[in-house]
Structure 1
Amino acid sequence: MLGLDALLLARIQFAFTVSAHIIFPAFSIGLASYLAVLNGLALWTGRPVFTDLFNYWKKIFAVAFGMGVVSGIVMSYQFGTNWSAFSDKVGPVIGPLMGYEVLSAFFLEAGFLGVMLFGRERVGPKLHFLATLMVAAGTFMSAFWILSVNSWMQTPAGYAINEAGQFIATDWWAVIFNPSFPYRLLHMLLAAYLTTAFVVGAVGALHLLRDRAGPAARVMFSMAMWMAAIVAPLQIVAGDFHGLNTLEHQPAKVAAMEGHFETHAGAPLILFGLPNAAEGRIDYKVQIPNLGAFILTHDWNGVVRGLNEWPADQRPPVAIVFWSFRIMVGIGFLMLGLGLWSLWARWKGRLHDAPWLHRAALLMGPSGFAAVLAGWITTEVGRQPWTVQGLLTTAQSASPIDAAAVGASLVAFVVVYFALFGAGTFYILRLMNHAPRPAEPGLPPAAPVRAGGIMPGPVMAAKHALPAGE
């Protein structure tokens, strides 16, 4: 297909499917927690506006959750079709972790999802709140297990290699809580909460621009801006700790992120430039002396290793990692700026009467998705050429399959994904376009399960996997 080999096509296919998948769990993790907060506030305060907002956002959650399930299933099939060598070698370690995710996380989500969506009048408000908490806990546990798997691939620990060349666990605690796992888990969870906060803030801003007196829009915008103002700086701090951990365990990735080809003390912070991998330099760079060393080593004269210390075939693609990292960081500081702007408007008593703030929040609505995608590109491309860092290469992980077969399935995925998820996204946007109303109606009652029938659609017994990411 277009002269591309099977390995490259398989990598493109997985990159496409994981990129399409990650945006839905990143949204549903944060939205599930937001729904739990709304439900708790409705119980605690008795204010109808929180119930209205819960009914408003749970419809959107149901659609996003369903699309996350479907897109997650597709990725698991690729381990058997395009990456069978990887599955054979690494399966004894990551297989049980993926199984734990299904058993402990997805079953929890799916088991309580129907109660959360349809059961308030049937089980009462307290049990309904418990069901909402269980769904939120399930999304957290999904993130826990999937990020444990991905982190082990980045920083493998607690393993041995048997005579058949397979990785086997010698210490499950070390496998699960590998060196990079706590940092990745925190970084991803904060990213999910920020993603949801900026979507909620954008929807609130949209309806405030139309009607500043709408109580539901005022409440959701206020809650979203509190989240932005509190979590954005926490994410920057968490990102710094994560960067220090990556420098320790994956220094080549950090060198690509920072654009350093030569090792030297007092490395500058390169803000912008054009990576020139062939010549081993950054052209037209704009930099701040010594700041890169201070950020990475917390020492103005700290030594930062350059990419030239690694053989050419063990270096990640510099241009992709260099720019995806800057997109992620740039969006993070824009989020921080909007959060600080909202604090100033709140202090002035104009949070709900600041149209330029509302326009800015509306523009920043998709920013969380862009930051998550950029962060995962940095993480995954920065690990190349390895699937298991330093131990198993991407080329060694691929299936012996023809390029034509991979190319055909890639084309099919692109067509189906754009049709299916395009329609789903369009429907979500339509739901967001209408303002929450007093006594916001919930979803219609679920049809009863009859003998020989099927379960209601929203209760889907399918695997909901958080995509590889950070």
Structure 2
Amino acid sequence: MPTLLIAVEPLVWARSQMAFTLGAHIVLACLGVGLPALLAFAEFRHWRSGDEGWGRLAQRWAKAFAVLFAVGAVSGTVLSFELGLLWPAFMGTFGSVIGLPFTLEGFAFFVEAIFVGVYLYGGARLSPTGRLLSVVPIAVAGAVSAFFVVTANAWMNTPRGFTLGSDGRVHDVAPWAAMFNPSTPHETVHMIVAAYLVTGSLVAMVYAAAILRGRSGEHHRRGLALGLTLAAIAAPLQAVTGHWAGDRVAELQPLKLAAMEAHFETGTWAPLRLFGWPDVEAREVHGSIDIPGALSLLAHRDPAAVVLGLEEFPEDEWPPVPIVHVAFQVMVGIGTGLIALFGFGALGRWRRGNWPTERWYLRAVVAAGPASILALEAGWVVTEVGRQPWIVRGFMRTSDAVTDAAGLHWLFLATLLLYLALFVGAWSVLRYLASKPLDAAQDGPLAQESGDDA
């Protein structure tokens, strides 16, 4: 077995580790953006109404956020080390170009951490106004932190802000131009809205499951309502930002668009393909439902517009078309379902004054939680795998950026064990906190509960 592990190329191990750690961290990052926003709203309602129910709701969420923030800090640190350990040529060549957003993200994280400390550990001594004023910067810093990180990924898709000399070194570095590259606006907005959608879906899932088990008090109804409200706002916005992102990909990365749609041949009236499995060798798609002209219309606002096919690009620059196409279909399909689900709930809220509580709807909300994570992961597969074989599109291939160090399989296995311990520990703590009675912890987010929970 060890011989077989060593025989696998370092590129495979490096890609696997990066995919695993990014896929795990991105869920925590979404909660780090979305949960503070919900906390801020709950604290605002408590401050405005004086209703202690809102204060208790915020206190329960604050405890969960503390656990997730700590685990997210560890998983995010692992990712930052991986950039240098796994991709030394990439960081050695382009570190000066993309260093600015990572530096600014560090400042945003420290601001967030400072106010997290103030809010969590000073909550028992702060007035409702003080708690509200301490949690708002957390929500802002979380979104700003996500913005800075995603700008680096956007740059990898549409690199700007430097020239690459014949000696392989970068010259004329313009960090601000690199950070605000053409992909920055749509990628950052699309990701931040996704964070709110995932958070709203997961929070609604937790309270829907509790209500299905018979816990239908005011606390759980409020938690469900807040989660559904955030998700119902974010879901249609995500469709708008997704269409915007698709337009920009069509303009800036036509090869990625062709892979997303499994569009092999250049032509007019390009079809939009639903479902299907691309056969790269035969250059056709099996089992798809084609809507003639729809891709041309969506990409260029003209059903007769020409859409470039994969045939226009060197085959050694094609990404894995089946993976990208299927991931794109999963993302769009689940996103459409979430819009319908939360839109139906919002319509019921508007008509009846309450969110639906029928068991079939609550079960659908429970399913929406993991479905939103699946859509999130599929979106990142489209973004990252759709850029392959480039780590910096057009300038450096992923195979040229990877380390040649031995023993990457042991590093990957160690990372798996670390993340397993982190997530099992976090799950256990969250389960313990959820088991606490609702009338505990009246004095602040991390006040002592029943003498045994600090």
Does TM, scored on the shorter chain, surpass 0.5? yes
Counterpart-to-counterpart distance in 2, 1:216 and 1:254: 45
Matches for 1:269-280 after TM superposition, within 5 Å: 269-280=272-283
Which residue of the partner structure matches residue 305 of structure 2?
A: 302
Counterpart-to-counterpart distance in 2, 1:98 and 1:169: 20
Counterpart-to-counterpart distance in 1, 2:437 and 2:230: 21
Which residue of the partner structure matches residue 80 of structure 1?
A: 84
Instruction: Please report how far the alpha carbon of residue 213 of structure 1 lies from its aligned counterpart in structure 2 after TM superposition.
Output: 4.6
Within the candidate set 427, 430, 439, 1:428 is matched to 430
Deviates more, 1:277-286 or 1:241-250: 277-286
Which residue of the partner structure matches residue 177 of structure 1?
A: 180
- For the aligned residue pairs, the C-alpha RMSD in angstroms reads 2.1
**Are the equivalent residues in 2 in contact too, given 1:202–1:361 (CA < 8 A)?**
yes
Which residue of the partner structure matches residue 413 of structure 1?
A: 415
Deviates more, 1:229-238 or 1:156-165: 156-165
CA deviations over 1:233-284 (Å, ceiling 9, x no partner): 1110110011110111111111110010111111111101111112222122
Instruction: Please report how far the alpha carbon of residue 439 of structure 1 lies from its aligned counterpart in structure 2 after TM superposition.
Output: 6.2
Counterpart-to-counterpart distance in 2, 1:425 and 1:8: 30
| 3-state SS, counterpart of residue 285 of structure 1 | strand
Distance 1:398 1:371, change over 3 A: same
Matches for 1:254-269 after TM superposition, within 5 Å: 254-269=257-272
Counterpart-to-counterpart distance in 2, 1:433 and 1:322: 42
Deviates more, 1:383-392 or 1:418-427: 418-427
**Are the equivalent residues in 2 in contact too, given 1:276–1:283 (CA < 8 A)?**
yes
CA deviations over 1:84-116 (Å, ceiling 9, x no partner): 11110011111232112112x111011111111
Read off the aligned partner of 1:362 and give its amino acid letter: V
Instruction: Please report how far the alpha carbon of residue 209 of structure 1 lies from its aligned counterpart in structure 2 after TM superposition.
Output: 2.4
**Are the equivalent residues in 2 in contact too, given 1:200–1:224 (CA < 8 A)?**
yes
Which residue of the partner structure matches residue 334 of structure 1?
A: 337
Read off the aligned partner of 1:283 and give its amino acid letter: H
Counterpart-to-counterpart distance in 2, 1:114 and 1:290: 54
Read off the aligned partner of 2:316 and give its amino acid letter: D
Instruction: Please report how far the alpha carbon of residue 441 of structure 1 lies from its aligned counterpart in structure 2 after TM superposition.
Output: 6.5
| 3-state SS, counterpart of residue 122 of structure 1 | coil
In the alignment, is residue 379 of structure 1 matched against residue 376 of structure 2?
no
| 3-state SS, counterpart of residue 260 of structure 1 | coil
Aligned length: 444
Deviates more, 1:239-248 or 1:334-343: 334-343
> Identity of counterpart residues, as a percentage?
37
Which residue of the partner structure matches residue 154 of structure 2?
A: 151
CA deviations over 1:168-227 (Å, ceiling 9, x no partner): 564333222110101011101110001111111112212322447511111122222222
| 3-state SS, counterpart of residue 405 of structure 2 | coil
Read off the aligned partner of 1:248 and give its amino acid letter: E
Matches for 1:11-160 after TM superposition, within 5 Å: 11-103=15-107, 105-160=108-163
Read off the aligned partner of 2:205 and give its amino acid letter: A
Instruction: Please report how far the alpha carbon of residue 44 of structure 1 lies from its aligned counterpart in structure 2 after TM superposition.
Output: 1.3
CA deviations over 1:130-176 (Å, ceiling 9, x no partner): 21111112111211110111111111122222565233564333222
**Are the equivalent residues in 1 in contact too, given 2:100–2:175 (CA < 8 A)?**
no
Distance 1:160 1:221, change over 3 A: same
Counterpart-to-counterpart distance in 1, 2:140 and 2:446: 25
| 3-state SS, counterpart of residue 270 of structure 2 | coil
Matches for 1:320-399 after TM superposition, within 5 Å: 320-346=323-349, 347-349=351-353, 351=355, 353-399=357-403
Distance 1:432 1:235, change over 3 A: farther
Deviates more, 1:195-204 or 1:216-225: 216-225
In the alignment, structure 1 segments of 5+ residues that lack a partner are: 447-457, 459-470
**Are the equivalent residues in 1 in contact too, given 2:123–2:443 (CA < 8 A)?**
no
| 3-state SS, counterpart of residue 274 of structure 1 | strand
Counterpart-to-counterpart distance in 2, 1:144 and 1:18: 16
Counterpart-to-counterpart distance in 2, 1:427 and 1:10: 31
Distance 1:53 1:160, change over 3 A: same
CA deviations over 1:15-38 (Å, ceiling 9, x no partner): 111111111011111001111111
Read off the aligned partner of 2:233 and give its amino acid letter: I
**Are the equivalent residues in 2 in contact too, given 1:93–1:168 (CA < 8 A)?**
no
**Are the equivalent residues in 1 in contact too, given 2:164–2:170 (CA < 8 A)?**
yes
Distance 1:419 1:172, change over 3 A: closer
In the alignment, structure 2 segments of 5+ residues that lack a partner are: 449-453
Counterpart-to-counterpart distance in 2, 1:433 and 1:280: 55
CA deviations over 1:272-310 (Å, ceiling 9, x no partner): 111111222212222222222222222111211111111
Distance 1:336 1:18, change over 3 A: same
Instruction: Please report how far the alpha carbon of residue 81 of structure 1 lies from its aligned counterpart in structure 2 after TM superposition.
Output: 1.8
Instruction: Please report how far the alpha carbon of residue 350 of structure 1 lies from its aligned counterpart in structure 2 after TM superposition.
Output: 5.5
| 3-state SS, counterpart of residue 264 of structure 1 | coil
Counterpart-to-counterpart distance in 2, 1:350 and 1:100: 42
Which residue of the partner structure matches residue 319 of structure 1?
A: 322
Distance 1:229 1:78, change over 3 A: closer
CA deviations over 1:429-448 (Å, ceiling 9, x no partner): 554566744766655459xx
Counterpart-to-counterpart distance in 1, 2:114 and 2:353: 43
Distance 1:444 1:33, change over 3 A: closer
Instruction: Please report how far the alpha carbon of residue 368 of structure 1 lies from its aligned counterpart in structure 2 after TM superposition.
Output: 2.2
Distance 1:441 1:319, change over 3 A: farther
